[in-house]
Amino acid sequence: MSVDKGLYFLPLGGSGEIGMNLNLYRYGGKWLMVDLGVTFGDDAMPGIDVITPDPSFIAENRDDLLGLVLTHAHEDHLGAVPYLWPLLRCPIYATGFTASFLKRKLAETDFANQVPIHVIEQGSRLQIGDFDVELIHITHSCLEPNALAIRTPAGTVLHTGDWKLDAEPLIGPTTDADAYRRVGDEGVLALVGDSTNAIKDGESGSEGSVYEELVKQIAAAPQRVAIACFASNVARVESIARAARAAGREVALVGRSLWRIYESARENGYLADLPPFMTETDAGYVPRDRIALICTGSQGEPRAALSRIAADDHPHIVLEEDDWVLFSSRTIPGNDRAVGRMQNQLMRLGVKVITDRDAPIHVSGHPCRDELAAMYQWIRPRVAIPVHGEHLHMTAHAELARNCQVPFQIVPENGQIIRLDLPGGPQVVDHVQSGRWAVDGGRLLPVDGAVVRGRAKLLWNGAVVATVVVDRKGRLMADPQVSAPGLIDADDPGDELADDLIEAVRGAVARVPDKAPEDEIAEAARRAVRKLVNQRLGKKPVAQIHVVRV
C-alpha cells in the first residue's frame, strides 16, 4: 500500500480565534504538531479559567505523531501542554528559555518526569521524521521567538508563529531578515502566519520607545506605582525595572507567573545584570514613593495579583489614593469587561489608571500591515494561510497577501484538513473533530457539553428544587419543600414567589391521574414551576423535582 506523499495542514485551534493555537502538518502518513496553547474563560463560563483545544483527532492518531515543536513561551502557544500531553505522549522540542518555562509548569503535574523535552538552539536545524525543521529568529514580545521553516519533499512551509519587526527589541537580536530572504530564494510553498494586527496600518512599534515613556511615567508617580504587563514579556519587565531604578525605586514582582518567567530567564542567561527583585511580602515595608510593583493580571484574570489588589483582597499589597497603575499591555479581545471592571475598582480606591490610550506605554508584539508586506516580499510564497486571528483579521491578512502577489490564499477553519501541494492551489480535502475543552479542576470537559452549559444556565436563570412526598395513589402527604437559589431572596419573608411555587407544585401534583409513576409527577411539577417563573421573571430555570412515594 503506497504512502500518501501530499503535504497537509490542519489547524485544531487558533484559526478564527485569538489564542489556543494548535497546528498540525502531515507528510508521508506522519504528523508534526506546532504549538499547543490555551485561551481563558469569561463570564459566560462560570468557574472555568482555562480552555484548551479539543485534541481528540490527533490523540486518536498519536502513534503517527512525531513530535511537538513550540515556537515560543506564551500561554496561547504552550499553556495546554500540562493538560493535554498525557493524551499525546509525544516528544517536545523547544529552545532553552521555552523549555525552562515549560518545565516549571510541568513541575505542578504528576507526570513531569515522563515528558521528553529536547532543548534546541535558536537558528538550528533538526530532522523529525521526514520533516526538516529550521528555527529562524524573529522578534516578538517574548524571549526566543522563532519562525519555523518546515521542509518536506512536497515543499517548504514557513510557519511564522507570533512575530513583529522590532529594530530595538532591548533583549535578544533583531529579526534575521537575511535568513528569511534565503528561505524565500529557496522557494516556499506556503506561509502560515500571524493575523492578529492584519487590520492595522503601519508598524507595531518598538520596545525601545516604550522604555523611554516608562521612565517618564514612573518618575512622575507621586506614591506607589504598579505596572501591569504580560509576564512573558521579559524585555518589558527589564524596561520597567530599569525605569524604576532610574527613579530611585525598589522593584518587586507580584504574581507567581512573573517569578516563574524571571527564574526561567535567569536560568538561560537573561536579566543577569539586574539587581534582585523584592518579594511582594517585603514590598509592603518600603515607603510608598520608593517602590514599583510589577504585577500579573493585566487581562483582569480574577485570581491574578492586580485583580486581587483592586478588590482589596491581596494578602500583602494595598493600593490607595494617589497611587498609580500603568497598564503596559493591550486588552485581548474578549477580556474588555473584566479589564474595565478591574480598572473601575482601582479608580474607586483613588488610584490613577494609565493605559496605552493615555500614554505610549505599550506596543504590540504582532505585525501590522507594513510588516506583513515586508515578510511577503522576503518569502514570496505560493500560498498564504492566515491563522492566529478572528475571521476579520484572517480575511484582512488574506487580502493583503493577494495584494502582495501571492497566487493563492485560503482562510482556514479549525478542523479543516488542507492539502497544500496541489497544482491548482490548496484545497480543503477533509474535516475532523475540533472544538474546545474546559479545564474544570482536575478534569477536561467539552465547552459545549452538559456540565458547562448547565452551569451557565444556572448562572443566568437560577434553579428550582422541590421535594414531593406522595402516597401510593400519588396524593400529597405533606406540603412540597421548595427552594429556588438565584430566584428567591431567603432574607425577604414578603417574597411571594416562594409561596406561589409551592402552590404551583401542589396544583400540578393534584392534576396528575391517580397512581401515576414518579417520573410523570415530577415532569408535571417541573413544567408548572418553569411556567410560573417564566411568567413572573422571564427566566427559564433549571428545575429538579424529587418525588418520594411512601
pLDDT tens per residue, range 245-254: 999 999 999 9
DSSP 3-state of 541: coil
CB atoms within 10 A of CB 58: 24
Regarding whether 315 and 262 lie in a shared domain, the answer is yes
Q: Are residues 214 and 235 in the same domain?
A: yes
The reply to whether 80 and 184 lie within a common domain is yes
Domain that holds residue 493: 462-549
Q: Indicate if 408 and 525 belong to the same structural domain.
A: no
Q: Do residues 420 and 157 make contact, with C-beta atoms less than 8 angstroms apart?
A: yes
Is 530:543 a contact under the CB 8 Å cutoff? yes
Q: Which three cell numbers stand for residue 511?
A: 392534576
Residue ending a domain, among 446, 478, 501, is 446
> Do 71 and 165 reside in the same domain of the chain?
yes
From first to last of the 550 residues of the chain, give the pLDDT tens digit. 467 899 999 999 999 998 999 999 999 999 999 999 999 877 677 778 899 999 999 999 999 999 999 999 999 999 999 999 999 999 999 999 999 999 999 999 999 999 999 999 999 999 999 999 999 999 999 999 999 999 999 999 999 999 999 999 999 999 999 999 999 999 999 999 999 999 999 999 999 999 999 999 999 999 999 999 999 899 999 999 999 999 999 999 999 999 999 999 999 999 999 999 999 999 989 999 999 999 999 999 888 999 999 999 999 999 999 999 999 998 887 788 889 999 999 999 999 999 999 999 999 999 999 999 999 999 999 999 999 999 999 999 999 999 999 999 999 999 999 999 999 999 999 999 999 999 988 899 888 888 888 888 887 888 999 999 999 988 999 889 998 888 887 666 667 888 899 999 999 999 999 889 999 999 999 999 999 999 999 999 999 999 999 8
Claim to verify: residue 53 and residue 196 sit in the same structural domain: yes
In terms of Cβ atoms closer than 10 Å to its own Cβ (0-12, 13-18, 19+), residue 135 is: buried
Task: Write the DSSP assignment of 446-476 as a string of letters.
Answer: ETTSHHHHHHHHHHHH-EEEEEEEE-TTS-B
pLDDT at 386: 98
Instruction: Please write the tens of the pLDDT for every residue from 305-342.
Output: 999 999 999 999 999 999 999 999 988 877 888 899 99
- 92 with 232, same domain? no
Tell whether pTM > 0.85.
yes
Judge whether 135 lies within some domain.
yes
Q: Are residues 278 and 186 in the same domain?
A: no
Angle, helix 369-379 to helix 177-186, in steps of 10 degrees: 50
Residue 137 is predicted with a pLDDT of 95
Query: Which of 540, 531, 546, 523 has the alpha carbon at shortest distance from 457?
Result: 540
Please check whether residues 19 and 164 belong to one and the same domain: yes
- Asked if residue 189 belongs to a domain, the reply is yes
Within 10 angstroms of residue 96's Cβ, the number of other Cβ atoms is: 18
Domain end (from 316, 331, 354): 354
Calpha distance 183→187 (Å, rounded): 7
Considering 354, 380, 409, which residue would you say is the last residue of a domain? 354
DSSP codes of every residue in 393-461: HHHHHHHHHHHTT-SEE----TTEEEE---TT--EEEEE----EEEEETTEEEETTSHHHHHHHHHHHH
Domain count, the chain: 3
Are 197 and 218 part of one and the same domain?
A: no
Q: Are residues 94 and 147 in the same domain?
A: yes
For position 186, what pLDDT does the model report? 97
User: Which pLDDT score is estimated for 1?
Assistant: 45
How do residues 215-224 score in pLDDT, each as one tens digit?
A: 999 999 999 9
Q: Does residue 295 sit in the same domain as residue 172? A: no
What is the distance between the alpha carbons of residues 471 and 401, in angstroms, rounded to a whole number? Answer: 74
CATH number, position 86: 3.60.15.10
C-alpha cell at 534: 417564566
